[in-house]
Amino acid sequence: MSGHDANPAPITQLLSRWSAGDAGAFDALVPLVYGELRRLARLLLSGERSGHTLSCTGLVHEAYLRLAGPTQIDWTNRAHFFGAASRAMRRVLVDHARGRNALKRGEGVVPEELDQVVLAVEPDLDVIALDRALEEFTALDPDRAKVVELRFFGGLSIEETAEVVGSSPATVKRDWSAARAWLFQRMKGYSNQ
Amino acid sequence: MDRQTWDQVREAFLRANEALPEERRELLAALPPEVCHEVTAMLKSEEEAARVLEPADGRLPRGASLGAYVVEEFVAQGGMGEVYRGHRRADFEKSVALKVLAPVFLLREAERLFARERQMLAQLTHPNIVTLLDGGHIEGRPYLVMEWVEGKRLDEWTQGRTLIERLDLFRQICNAVQTAHENLIVHRDLKPSNVLVTEGGQAKLLDFGVAKLMDWGGGDSEPTRSIQRLFTLRYASPEQARGMAAGVPSDIYSLGLLFFELVTGRRAQAVENLPMDEALHFITSRELARPAGMDRDLFAIAAKAAAKEPGQRYRSAAEMGEDLHRYLRGYAVLAHPPSIGYRLGKLARRNKSAAAVVAVAALAVLAALAAFIVQFRVAQRERSLAEKRFEAARQMAQLMVFDAPQKLAGVPATLEVRQWTAERAADYLAQLARGVEGDVPLALSVARSYRQVAFQYFNTNSENLNDPAKALDALERGAAVLERLRHKSAEVWVELAENRLARPYVRLRKLDPAVANEKAAFEITERLRAERHPLAEELHARVLYLQATNDRHSPAELIRIWGEVERFYQEQLRQAPTDGERMRQLALIHKNVSGVYAARSDWPEALRHDRLAVEQDERRLKLKPDDPVGRMDLSFSYGRLGQDLFLSGQRVEGIAYIRKALAIRRALAERDPQDRRARDRLAWMLGLLSDHLLAAGEIPEAQQAAREALLLLDAIKTPGVGDYSIAGLHRLLALGFEKNARRDEACLEWQAAQAALPAGYVPMPGALLREEDVRKYAAACAARSSSAR
């Protein structure tokens, strides 16, 4: 696949600025990655892999490799990248779900590339409710909310998540399990409304 | 929710999620309500949350092919890979479990292990081991196809199971592990999630994935050792924790922990939340501790299996299973240090006369039988255990080498077996007693054995043959053996006191001998007190207790005696606040004192003691929730409190307590339909309820209760023998009909009541039935029917 034309430089720069303490860099990163993820999804689906399930992990890792290349970014930046990618992925999924809902109501258009993608989340998962619950959770416990975002939307494994947030796999596992149960309660609350 | 509450919720959820059911209940009960509410909801939907919110990445979608098999749904994520439910192409009927190695674990070692698991499982066929059907590779990911087992995880299954069911299941696990070991396969990762239990109660062991072929010739290979981390530390053996080779003893250790958890509902090795070094220290050095209320033999079995030193464990799973079998049959377990059996054996060796040997054999059978019956009664409703009853009877018969063994083999009811055994034992003792002549240890042993036999015939604590006359006879014979001794040691006096304390005169309504017996017992304990014998005070208190239960004393005298007894037991309980027997004694004292006050219509005092008794019995039951004696005792306290509340004018509350008592007795009677005493007591409580409902004007319900009681008593009454209870119940029915002016029916009931009344009946104060009433009404009824003619 030679069709990729994204320039990795801005992302690398943004990551460096972010790790140097520039919070604005993160906001700039997310849309960049977001665009990349959507582009990637389209690309992957157009080719020989059409019809396959695209997973969040696959997309995020693929995006990472394309944008940065495995050797060009040090680990701190790599961690930051996954943070941004997870956030971007969350937006992709939420937009997709909103688009679907809008389509059902007869308005709006679903981004075609996403409509083709059977994103590998449970079909009965209400992404919008999860997004809302996660927002509430972020206000309550921002650190653990980050774990959820990385783990669920970024598709990072327990070990990868632990490295990104700088804690132990055991702690991540516990945080993840408690947060998951809590979020699920909230989500149930929303859908009952 | 605020941050602080969330922190509480999170901590509680994580702890509760790892806890076993018993601990979980305790943990939740201690939380503030709003936290508890949230945590409970989270726990309840934990599985669903994990399914919905777990990233689905890398999972196979429905319809994916694995060789000849098709994926239906994702089931679980295990340490080694993912598990799916699927079916063979074009065979939708039969489900299979598909285990696919997770890509993240695609290391060379894991791949090797996976292949090994496949190879080994294929060799293993056992009803308690999940069968391997097929295997292969898909896109570089190896997979296994296994028999689909519909069942619960061991820890989920355990809830609400009786001890006997749990033990029975554990023996299946032992069998499976034994078979694997015989095939040179060690499991190495035995834990509740690797044991499924089917609807039919069959255990199925999963995941021989980390087992490796035992290599008797060579040592461990490097890769196998380095993946030790895959083990669940919570069930890991000390040698596994140290990273050493894990063999059969390691599985035995895990079995020990599994067994402990199965029996107690508590974690044996709570190391999940410890840092690695502390966890390892815990595993290698912390011995199992016996929780209060855990049976000593069962604990001994768990502790032997989970000994830190591999050489001290059971040598095989079969040996552990056999010890459990022994326990279920009531024999001394091997795990236990030598005790009574050992001593009896020594006695037999010391006195080489045939009679001593016979007595020892008879007592061994008695002890076995008693323990067996306790276990058996629990299990009786299980039809599958009917065969075991036969088997147990057969084994006992073998033990009873001195008399026709076939007599036991086909015995339909345990009651009959016990009757026979008790009689046999008494005969043997009678023979033995003739040869005592001055041999103090032998005389003591014979007297104690007589007391054992008497205990089988009658006691107030447990199932017995309900024959106080034979019990008294055995006790008198036992005492006679001791009385003949010229020199009586303190030990002899103690046994004489015990002997007198056990005599059921009051129960036999032999009131004068009862008083004489109390006096004699009192003199013995006074003698022991003068000698400052260590048991003197307790015996003294028990003699006072015996005196206090005899209603010949004046109320003032009774209250004084009770006060002294109560003080003694209060002190005893202070020294051992969780001692069940002492709690029971204290509750009994309160029940008796309340009776004294109730007889004087001093309701505030009577109710105060009733409530103290309830409190004590409830506390005791909390420590040992399944204890049938404790449950029966509590039903007495509730019944008593209900009765006194009713009599003091608080009718609604009173009836509510009687219903609580009734519920307990109903459950106890249902547990064992053949338990005569349980039915008798259920009938009694129904009678009480009927009586009170009648007084409260609830006639239809009152009559319904009386009828149910009659039905119960009908099945167990002795033909031709008068029965107060039956007469009393007919009286209640008659009174109900009178109130509704249904005279003919009332008349029939009065007649039935009169017919049921024993000859020479002496009405007791406060008895359910007053003789004059019956005779008076029956006469009136006869007059009515003759005038109608």
pLDDT digits (tens, 9 = 90+) for B559-572: 888 888 888 888 88
Shortest distance, CA B53 to any CA of chain A (angstroms): 7
Rounded to an integer, the average pLDDT of B748-764 is 68
- Of A153-167, B54-68, B365-379, B613-627, the poorest mean pLDDT is in B365-379
pTM beyond 0.90: no
Whether residue B360 has pLDDT greater than 60: no
- Tell me if B205 sits within 8 A of B195, measured CB to CB: yes
Cβ distance of B38 and A174 shorter than 8 Å:
no
CA B53-A101-A97 angle, to 5 degrees, is 35
Q: Closest-CA residue in chain A for B272?
A: A170
Q: How confident is the model at residue A60 (pLDDT cuts 50, 70, 90)?
A: low
Q: What is the pLDDT of residue B387?
A: 40
Whether residue A118 has pLDDT greater than 50: no
Q: How confident is the model at residue B555 (pLDDT cuts 50, 70, 90)?
A: confident
Instruction: List CB contacts (< 8 A) between B104 and chain A.
Output: 157
Cβ distance of A177 and B9 shorter than 8 Å:
no
CB-CB: which of A53, A151, A178 is closest to B13? A178
Cβ distance of A55 and B58 shorter than 8 Å:
yes
- Tell me if B768 sits within 8 A of B691, measured CB to CB: yes
List of residues 6+ apart from B551 with CB closer than 8 A: B558
- Tell me if A162 sits within 8 A of A171, measured CB to CB: yes
Q: In angstroms, rounded to a whole number, what is the distance separating the alpha carbons of residues A156 and A148?
A: 10
Shortest distance, CA B5 to any CA of chain A (angstroms): 10
Whether residue B631 has pLDDT greater than 80: yes
Q: In angstroms, rounded to a whole number, what is the distance separating the alpha carbons of residues B347 and B585?
A: 33
Q: How confident is the model at residue B226 (pLDDT cuts 50, 70, 90)?
A: very low
Q: In angstroms, rounded to a whole number, what is the distance separating the alpha carbons of residues B480 and B373?
A: 30
pLDDT tens for each residue of B526-547 = 999 998 888 888 888 888 888 8
Whether residue B214 has pLDDT greater than 60: no
DSSP state, residue B505: T
Q: What is the pLDDT of residue B400?
A: 36
Q: What is the pLDDT of residue A18?
A: 66
Q: Is A142 on the interface with B (CB under 8 A)?
A: no
Q: How confident is the model at residue B429 (pLDDT cuts 50, 70, 90)?
A: low
For residues B282-318, b (16+ Cβ closer than 10 Å) or e, as one string?
bbeeeebeeeeebeebbbbbbbbbbbbebeebbebbb
Instruction: List CB contacts (< 8 A) between B6 and chain A.
Output: 140-141, 182
Cβ distance of B58 and A57 shorter than 8 Å:
yes
Shortest distance, CA A122 to any CA of chain B (angstroms): 6
Q: In angstroms, rounded to a whole number, what is the distance separating the alpha carbons of residues B250 and B321?
A: 16
Best of A177, A186, A188, A192 to disrupt the B interface by mutation (most B CBs within 10 Å)? A177
CB-CB: which of A121, A122, A181 is closest to B13? A181
Tell me which residue of A54, A94, A125 sits closest to B52, measured CA to CA: A125
Q: Is A66 on the interface with B (CB under 8 A)?
A: no
B184 phi and psi, to 5 degrees?
60, 30
Q: What is the pLDDT of residue B296?
A: 82
| A residues 95-134 lying closer than 8 A (beta carbon) to B | 118, 120-122, 124-125, 130
Q: In angstroms, rounded to a whole number, what is the distance separating the alpha carbons of residues B29 and B32?
A: 8
CB neighbourhood size of B604 (10 A): 8
